[in-house]
């Protein structure tokens, strides 16, 4: 299974996922699929059964390609997605014996930018495992690791976050899912559709991001315990405050150096942390 998350913010739509497929063996493959359709961009995030999910994505691509200019309303697009996916669910999931259905189920996140029509702009849809399609105004997580994603994202997410801040928050949620859910793992993948309609596959530095966040969280936990009134030692609090401040400054300085080095590599055509998936 997996974790797939999607975010709709003022600057665009971010989709991200792990890359582990769990079956007889663990394999690592992409779960985010970019589809340019006419002048629009779509990114599908797949959680669940890969063959059934990919068949449904193909059906969605065909149906969306038939939309005429001016038909890209939220209501119309929801209906198109529902009509494309429901036959796949009926024929390849619900038609199977009950004991087989759980492993055959899938769900989708669909990020897009519609260039024309009364609802032009960036959108995010969730296609549930029963065929229900919802318009998502903020964020959504799907897959076995989604419970951890929601736990971490709900207190921090807001629609006015920048795309960079959104990806940092998403990286934290993916890391938690990969740490604690056996069905999640592998490199993290990120796809972005900007509010102007441009699409970008982001070679996100998930490896160093995870390492620096872990380092920060260790010092933050020490400070948290020192703040509690049960700690009678004010000198210990002052010590922890200084350690925390020094650590945060050190983490930021080192992270900036690593980021500059990484951007220099990308500038000459090297992608140092691109997910190695097929």
For residues 93 and 120, membership in a common domain is answered with: yes
Higher pLDDT, 263 or 153: 153
For residues 258 and 174, membership in a common domain is answered with: no
Mean pLDDT of 244-256: 93
> What is the value of pTM for the model shown?
0.85
For 117: left if phi > 0, alpha if psi spans -120 to 50, otherwise beta; the answer is left
For residues 136 and 244, membership in a common domain is answered with: no
For residues 173 and 63, membership in a common domain is answered with: yes
pLDDT at 24 over 60: no
Q: What is the DSSP letter of 143?
A: S
For 54, the domain range is 4-202
Q: How confident is the model at residue 114 (pLDDT cuts 50, 70, 90)?
A: confident
Query: Which of 69-78, 86-95, 109-118, 264-273 is least confident?
Result: 264-273
Largest CA-CA distance found in the chain, in angstroms, rounded: 70
pLDDT at 203 over 90: no
Query: Residue 183 maps to which CATH number?
Result: 3.60.20.10
Percent residues over pLDDT 70 in the chain: 94
Q: Which of 158, 187, 202 is the last residue of a domain?
A: 202
């Amino acid at each position: 299974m997996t974790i797939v998350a999607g975010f709709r913010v003022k600057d665009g739509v971010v989709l991200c996922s792990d890359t582990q497929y769990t079956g007889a063996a663990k394999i690592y493959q992409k779960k985010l699929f970019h589809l340019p359709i006419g002048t629009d961009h779509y990114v599908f995030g797949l959680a669940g059964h890969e063959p059934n999910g990919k068949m449904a994505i193909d059906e969605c691509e065909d149906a969306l390609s038939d939309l005429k200019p001016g038909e890209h309303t939220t209501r119309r697009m929801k209906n198109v997605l529902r009509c494309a996916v429901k036959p796949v669910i009926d024929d390849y999931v619900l038609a199977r014996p009950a004991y087989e259905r759980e492993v055959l189920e899938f769900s989708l996140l669909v990020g897009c930018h519609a260039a024309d029509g009364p609802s032009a702009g960036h959108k995010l849809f969730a296609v549930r495992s029963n065929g229900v399609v919802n318009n998502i105004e903020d964020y959504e997580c799907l897959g076995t690791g989604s419970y951890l994603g929601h736990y971490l994202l709900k207190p921090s997410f807001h629609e006015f976050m920048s795309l960079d801040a959104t990806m940092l928050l998403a990286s934290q949620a993916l890391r938690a899912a990969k740490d604690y859910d056996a069905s999640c793992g592998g490199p993290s993948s990120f796809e972005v559709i900007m509010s102007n309609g441009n699409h970008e596959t982001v070679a996100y530095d998930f490896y160093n991001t995870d390492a620096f966040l872990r380092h920060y969280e260790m010092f933050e936990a020490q400070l948290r315990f020192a703040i509690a009134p049960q700690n009678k030692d004010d000198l210990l609090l002052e010590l922890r405050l200084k350690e925390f401040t020094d650590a945060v400054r050190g983490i930021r300085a080192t992270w900036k150096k690593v980021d500059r080095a990484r951007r220099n590599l990308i500038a000459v055509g090297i992608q140092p942390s691109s997910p190695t998936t097929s």
